[in-house]
Amino acid sequence: MKTYFKVLSIILIFPFIVSAQISSSLHQVKSSSLTFNSGKNVPILLASYNQRVHNFSFDGKYLTTQLRGYRGNTQGLKDKGSVVRYDLINNQSNFDFKFSYKYESFLFSKGYTIYYTATDSYMLNNENGKNKYKMDHNIYIIDSTKQIGMGYKIDEFPSNINRLEGIDLASGTKIWERNINRDYGWNDSYSLNDSTYLIISSGLHTVNPNTGKGWTYDAKTGNYGAANAFNVGLKVGTLVAVGLVGFVILGPSIDINQRSCSCSNALIVDNNIFFSSFKKLAKLNKKTGELSWEIDIPKNGETKLWIQNNELYLLNTGKIMKGTTEANYSEPYFARYNIENGDQITSIELQDNLNRLVDYRINEDTATFVFNNQIKRYFVSTNELIDQHKINVYTSGYLLGFPNKQYYHFQKEQFNPIKEDSTFLMLFNYGSIKKINHKYEVKESIEKEELFEPILSFKNYQVLSNQTDTYLINSENEIIYGPFKQENIKFENNRLMYSNGIQLIVFPTGLF
């Protein structure tokens, strides 16, 4: 592996220029350089395309780029685009496909390239893009170690739409099949160990990728029934390709407006799994699926489970996602349960299903719930309301919640971390962070022009952006490079890369 990265570095340091057009979409790949703020000259690889770079991925050898331009004046994305793969080791173009987002899509994950049409799918050769074999499956999980994929057939009869199949990715041969209900689509999946996956889809299911065997706990995880399953099952696959690494190029054949989620995360604690569904809360044995206990709970929407103070905490947001749209569904509430037997300890009815619950914070005996237009605080032990404060959304904007990452204040060419001190921080949708004391008085407001968010962290570096300018800083908050413009930035396989319009800038391996 070390030798491999050295070869890549040599390619970038010794310049080569391809003056002729490499393919119809990839115009030029050449060595160039840029200058860091310290004055250091850094070699880069500069790829220029015939239209805007929409997404990209680097697996250590292949640079795969998705191209998709805007309709005039950036009013929406074009229906047609291209996907280009370039071999950075051998300095050659592998393939250049033009396709329609209306009828086609691609999946690049874990060394595999899958091409989808409305009715078929094909495994492609990574070197030249030619068909290796016809798959006919929407792949949801790829286990690259075992060379096994799991998915459902795309064009399937309604009676068989819940039949999950294990596919030998080397040949396309089916090696097992098992019914796993997807009335509401897949909500999530987890890798429990080298031989077991956990799937949330109309309940919980464990799957051995070699055999398809495992246990099932059936539960309702949405609010639309089997009448919609045919639409949901066939159209949601490539969008919820959970467990996949890389990126998916989606076609608009994917329609999840009928899909909804009324369940929680699968909370895994030691040998147990805690899970809430439509009207149930359960504790199961992780290995066998055996129920330790199951209790009835109020109708819930999207729910969060976590362990705190040796108790099971449940927060029902009261919302459901119908496709990509959020909708009110039930009264939000917070409850605490005994881990051992499921007995409810306390419950707080938040009594606000008209406004969006956006965040929460529970410290010792104080629970703070943030809605888009107000903040409520309760005593956890007694359920008593401490106070509530409404926000003037017309002057301040809507509340977005507590910052879940370290934001920075840019002043006098320096980045200073924004800290809570004796106040608490609150994000607003107008693009500001306000320091608020416990009387709800604003002590300081940092506006969007000077507010920078970390959008990428790697090794001892962070990339900060305020959607206008971007900076690369080190662990001492010193500016390494910037400001610069970028639409998408990634650190993959030890390379920093970013796109800006029709160009993709790739830094050398081992530079950072």
CATH number of residue 240's parent domain: 2.40.128.630
Instruction: Say whether pLDDT at 245 is over 60.
Output: no
- For 359-373, give one letter per residue: b (16+ CB within 10 A) or e: bbebeeeebbbbbbb
What average pLDDT does the segment 406-429 reach?
91
Instruction: Say whether pLDDT at 172 is over 70.
Output: yes
Report how far apart, in Å, the C-alpha atoms of 438 and of each of 348, 424, 435 are: 21, 8, 10
Domain total for the chain? 1
Going through 101-255 in order, the beta strands assigned E by DSSP cover 105-109, 112-116, 121-124, 131-134, 137-143, 148-153, 163-168, 174-179, 188-193, 196-200, 203-207, 216-218, 247-249
In a domain, 131, yes or no: yes
Relative to beta strand 80-87, strand 92-100 is antiparallel
In a domain, 272, yes or no: no
Confidence class of residue 154 from pLDDT cuts 50, 70 and 90?
Answer: confident
Long-range contacts of 376-379 (CB under 8 A, 24+ apart): 376/350, 376/352, 378/334, 378/348
In a domain, 39, yes or no: no
In a domain, 165, yes or no: yes
Report how far apart, in Å, the C-alpha atoms of 457 and of each of 167, 177, 391, 445, 462 are: 35, 40, 33, 26, 4
In a domain, 345, yes or no: no
Q: How far, in Å, CA of 259 to CA of 224, rounded?
A: 7
Per the CB < 8 A criterion, the answer to whether 111 and 99 are in contact is no
Q: How far, in Å, CA of 210 to CA of 148, rounded?
A: 8
Instruction: Say whether pLDDT at 381 is over 70.
Output: yes
Instruction: Say whether pLDDT at 226 is over 70.
Output: no
pLDDT tens-digit map of 58-94: 988 999 999 998 887 767 888 899 999 999 989 899 9
pTM, entire model: 0.85
Q: What is the pLDDT of residue 37?
A: 95
Encoding tokens for residue 463?
């990339």
In a domain, 49, yes or no: no
In a domain, 50, yes or no: no
Beta-carbon contacts of residue 439 (< 8 Å; ≥ 6 apart):
none
pLDDT tens-digit map of 252-296: 333 333 456 778 899 999 999 999 998 899 999 999 999 999 999
Confidence class of residue 36 from pLDDT cuts 50, 70 and 90?
Answer: very high
Provide the residue range defining the domain that includes 142: 102-258
Q: How far, in Å, CA of 173 to CA of 153, rounded?
A: 13
Percentage of the chain modeled with pLDDT above 70: 86
Low-confidence winner among 18-27, 149-158, 346-355, 371-380 (lowest mean pLDDT): 18-27
Report the mean per-residue pLDDT for the chain. 85
Q: How far, in Å, CA of 173 to CA of 111, rounded?
A: 18
Instruction: Say whether pLDDT at 185 is over 90.
Output: no
Instruction: Say whether pLDDT at 304 is over 90.
Output: yes
Per the CB < 8 A criterion, the answer to whether 302 and 319 are in contact is yes
In a domain, 232, yes or no: yes
Confidence class of residue 352 from pLDDT cuts 50, 70 and 90?
Answer: low
Residue reference for tokens 């320091």:
435
Instruction: Say whether pLDDT at 194 is over 60.
Output: yes
Q: What is the pLDDT of residue 302?
A: 85
Instruction: Say whether pLDDT at 471 is over 80.
Output: yes
Calculate the CA 301 to chain-centre distance: 20
Q: What is the pLDDT of residue 438?
A: 85
